[in-house]
Structure 1
Amino acid sequence: MLLLLLLQVLASCLWLGHSEVVPSFESCPQFFFQGTPPNDVLNPNNPAWICQHYNSEYHFATLYNRDLRIPVYSAYIYEPGPGPRPHISMIEPQVSVLSYRTSPSKEIKKSQAVSEDYTNLNGMHAGRLNPSAHQANDIRKEAAFTLTNTVPQNAKLNVGHWRNYEQNTMANKNNGCITTYVVVGTVPGNSYIARGRVNKPSYLWSSACCEMGNNQMKAWAVIAGNENNALESLRLGDLEDRLTELYGMGKVSLFHGDCPRQ
């Protein structure tokens, strides 16, 4: 009854997603190569493991940083398809602890970004780690438009080299792939938007592990500073080494060991 009442209040002013916040990604391992997510080095102090569930189906997975109000990474299977780009971003009430004592909207804002955080941005866009263009149909594209999948991204980068990578490089790299597992993430920065509420990442990165059949595989990766329109292509192992240095918390592993690093 409490949850029903709170959702009724929320529904009057917010677009709601239907994600599942879980203790681990055991509920949605299908978005990780051999069911293995990145190792715990990337885990923030106040994490939310989200199996993104929409229209009675899982669509991708997100590790979310409740303190910085940005995703650490989103993991999905690359299956681009036609269809319009959604326009409404959903919040995820499941990420927050709701109670009678305070306004539900205030409780949600404590642990995640909301739409107003991304209004009137100066030189920044709301960038999706799992882009809707990489999803096969309208339902999956809508599922990607959650604020837990959104980060403040340099506007020139978002419409420049990063978009070219998402739209063109990924398609070319994917030639010959049967299944391509993707993990796209962030490195926290020292600045914020929305009056200090939402962290602006210092870097964005993307990695892919491709199964080609006949026990053949390939992998690729990129990283971009979030200050300008520039992007660097890397081998998967090189990206893991860079993230190990940038996070400074131990050796980063993004995929199961069978994914080629060189």
Structure 2
Amino acid sequence: MGCACWLALGGLLALAGLLQARLLPAHQAGFGECDRFFYAGTPPAGLATEAHVKICQRFAGTERFATLYSPDHRIPVFSAFRAARPAPLYPEQRGLLEPQIDDPDSNLEEIIEETDAVTSVNNLGSKQALNADYLDSDYEIGQLYPFLLSNDLQMPTFPLTNSVPMTKSFRERWHMNLNSLMDQALIPHCGDGKDLYIITGAVPSDHKVKGKVTIPKFVWLAACCDIPGGGWAMGFTKHTQDSDIIEDVMVRDLEKLLPHEPQLFRDNCGETEQDTEKMKKILEVVNQVQDAERSLQSQESLSPQTKSQRSAPLSPEAPEGGGSLLGKILGFLFTPFIKIFQLIYYLVIAVLKNIVHLLWFVAKQVINGIESCIYRLGAATVSYLVTIGHELVGIPWKVLKVMAKIIRALLRVLCCLLKAICRALSIPLRVLLDVATFPVYTMGAIPVVCKDIAVGLGGALSLLCDTAFGTMGGLFQVIFSVFKRFGYKVTFDNSGEL
């Protein structure tokens, strides 16, 4: 495989490492790589249930903040992030969607525009809120973690998984409170926010927008400053009624107001080492913020025009009251040209957007084709190497089999030889000696046998002779005895002479 192929394969592997899933399984204890947004790397205990969805909010391949989302209420339970200075610009608010909540099988692993999700996400809106759920209602999309608290212009804090329904006035005051607290109280007393951990959440009520998105009863914020020997922890709540102001509360008391009474920070953010002097200074600034909010509410109740003037920076396109007759005439004359220019502008933007989508589609197809070719090449290479490996591994095995057969044959020969030896040894030794000495004994016994035969024959002849002479002697003795009876006196001497 050439160097280019290895580089391409390495690039694909690196890309696969960047595109990690953002939704985390319910059984997982933490939020994966987003655990760094929690104090001591520990998410709040007691808030997450099996019905909730853990989201590590990622954008441009980097984790930005963590969210615990409730598909039943279609609002977040909380969002956690590290504090930063407010951003210098305020982009247009837009609701982004998390594809994998509605479609777990989706390969879209980062938040996308709702217009792009319509054609690419199945069951869109079945478990999360959509922009359409806020249309023609008295509520707007309000972020728990607002863009105002981020100094990253690429940070998209507008996903609907980070948003709850808020009225316009409540959203403006809530974000104003957060901006004031962060810029005047929390960040200055925590080393410019480098070690400041923030959790913002919402407690659902019994009311919903269009029967889908739950309206929060109140929103809350918990802050933990992790500075050795100078840390602290504070909590804040704000009810959604327009007349209520933000309230400071201790973290332990805030936990009692939340469902299931969770533990927001591990060890209550180092409760034994907290700096009470800093907490007193923070409360002084909080009192100033509360007084400013009360003053603002009183001004709104006395002068509705003040409210419109204050809302003007947030709505730069709102028409100004009054104007001269010449201005109206010029506006009447130039309005068609302005509309035509706007139409051309929107057409150009739409064409450019479609061209970008087309280029992206082509690039995606090319990347998929290259990936497929590399995959096939890699599969063929792996198969070839596996086959060669099997053969190389088989050679020693075959040699061992041949050697085993040779050893087996030698063992059989040895076994047969041992059997023959055992059978030979099983014959008595005396028999073997007798068989071996049989010829010697046979040849040596012939003279003795002949002698014995001769002696036997001589003895037989002697016996016959003795028998004959004895018989004859007996007969003569009988005859002599008869003659003697008849008067012939034969003496023994005479018979001896005879």
Q: TM-score, normalised by structure 2?
A: 0.44
Aligned to 2:75: 70
Q: 1:19 to 1:165 in 2, by over 3 A?
A: farther
Deviations 1:13-61 (A, max 9, x none): xxxxx9710124123111001101111x222452110000001110000
What secondary structure is seen at the aligned counterpart in 2 of 1:107? coil
- The separation in 1 between residues aligned to 2:132 and 2:171, in whole angstroms, is 20
* 1:225 matches 2:239: yes
User: In the TM superposition, what is the alpha-carbon distance from 1:176 to its structure 2 partner?
Assistant: 2.9
* 1:130 matches 2:145: yes
Q: Is the 2:37–2:65 Cα contact (8 Å) retained in structure 1?
A: yes
Q: Is the 2:148–2:175 Cα contact (8 Å) retained in structure 1?
A: no
Q: Letter of the aligned partner of 2:88 in structure 1?
A: P
Deviations 1:150-187 (A, max 9, x none): 10023322222x23321112212221313211000011
Which of these residues, 20, 23, 28, is aligned with residue 21 of structure 1? 23
- The separation in 2 between residues aligned to 1:45 and 1:99, in whole angstroms, is 19
- The separation in 2 between residues aligned to 1:232 and 1:87, in whole angstroms, is 27
* 1:85 matches 2:91: yes
- The separation in 1 between residues aligned to 2:104 and 2:200, in whole angstroms, is 29
Unpaired runs of at least 5, structure 2: 1-19, 107-118, 277-498
Aligned to 2:422: none
- The separation in 2 between residues aligned to 1:181 and 1:217, in whole angstroms, is 11
Which of these residues, 223, 234, 250, is aligned with residue 208 of structure 1? 223
What secondary structure is seen at the aligned counterpart in 2 of 1:74? strand
Q: Is the 1:209–1:220 Cα contact (8 Å) retained in structure 2?
A: yes
Q: Is the 1:51–1:60 Cα contact (8 Å) retained in structure 2?
A: yes
Of Structure 1 and Structure 2, which has the larger fraction of its residues in helix? 2
* 1:32 matches 2:38: yes
Aligned to 1:49: 54
User: In the TM superposition, what is the alpha-carbon distance from 1:96 to its structure 2 partner?
Assistant: 2.0
Q: Which has the larger radius of gyration?
A: 2
Which of these residues, 238, 251, 261, is aligned with residue 236 of structure 1? 251
User: In the TM superposition, what is the alpha-carbon distance from 1:84 to its structure 2 partner?
Assistant: 2.6
Which of these residues, 165, 175, 181, is aligned with residue 169 of structure 1? 181
Identity percentage of aligned residues: 28
Unpaired runs of at least 5, structure 1: 1-17
Q: Letter of the aligned partner of 1:253 in structure 2?
A: Q
Deviations 1:56-76 (A, max 9, x none): 110000000011111000000
Of Structure 1 and Structure 2, which has the larger fraction of its residues in strand? 1
| Cα RMSD, aligned residues only | 2.3
User: In the TM superposition, what is the alpha-carbon distance from 1:89 to its structure 2 partner?
Assistant: 1.7
Q: TM-score, normalised by structure 1?
A: 0.81
Q: Is the 2:102–2:122 Cα contact (8 Å) retained in structure 1?
A: no
Aligned to 1:257: 267
Q: Is the 1:19–1:53 Cα contact (8 Å) retained in structure 2?
A: no
Aligned to 2:472: none
User: In the TM superposition, what is the alpha-carbon distance from 1:108 to its structure 2 partner?
Assistant: 2.4
Q: Is the 1:156–1:229 Cα contact (8 Å) retained in structure 2?
A: no
Q: 1:56 to 1:67 in 2, by over 3 A?
A: same
Q: 1:125 to 1:44 in 2, by over 3 A?
A: farther
* 1:144 matches 2:157: yes
Which structure exhibits the higher relative contact order, with contacts defined as CA atoms closer than 8 Å and separated by 6 or more residues?
1
Q: Is the 2:22–2:58 Cα contact (8 Å) retained in structure 1?
A: yes
Aligned to 1:10: none
What secondary structure is seen at the aligned counterpart in 2 of 1:95? helix
Aligned to 1:113: 129
What secondary structure is seen at the aligned counterpart in 2 of 1:108? coil
**Runs of 4 or more consecutive aligned structure 1 residues displaced over 3 Å after TM superposition:** 103-106
What secondary structure is seen at the aligned counterpart in 1 of 2:124? helix
Q: Letter of the aligned partner of 2:143 in structure 1?
A: R
Q: Is the 2:146–2:175 Cα contact (8 Å) retained in structure 1?
A: no
- The separation in 1 between residues aligned to 2:204 and 2:181, in whole angstroms, is 25
Q: 1:168 to 1:117 in 2, by over 3 A?
A: same
Q: Letter of the aligned partner of 1:204 in structure 2?
A: V
Q: Is the 2:33–2:63 Cα contact (8 Å) retained in structure 1?
A: no
Moved more, 127-136 or 230-239: 230-239
Q: Letter of the aligned partner of 1:59 in structure 2?
A: R
- The separation in 2 between residues aligned to 1:151 and 1:44, in whole angstroms, is 19
- The separation in 2 between residues aligned to 1:155 and 1:43, in whole angstroms, is 29
- The separation in 2 between residues aligned to 1:65 and 1:257, in whole angstroms, is 26
- The separation in 2 between residues aligned to 1:55 and 1:198, in whole angstroms, is 28
- The separation in 1 between residues aligned to 2:72 and 2:268, in whole angstroms, is 33
Q: Letter of the aligned partner of 1:224 in structure 2?
A: K
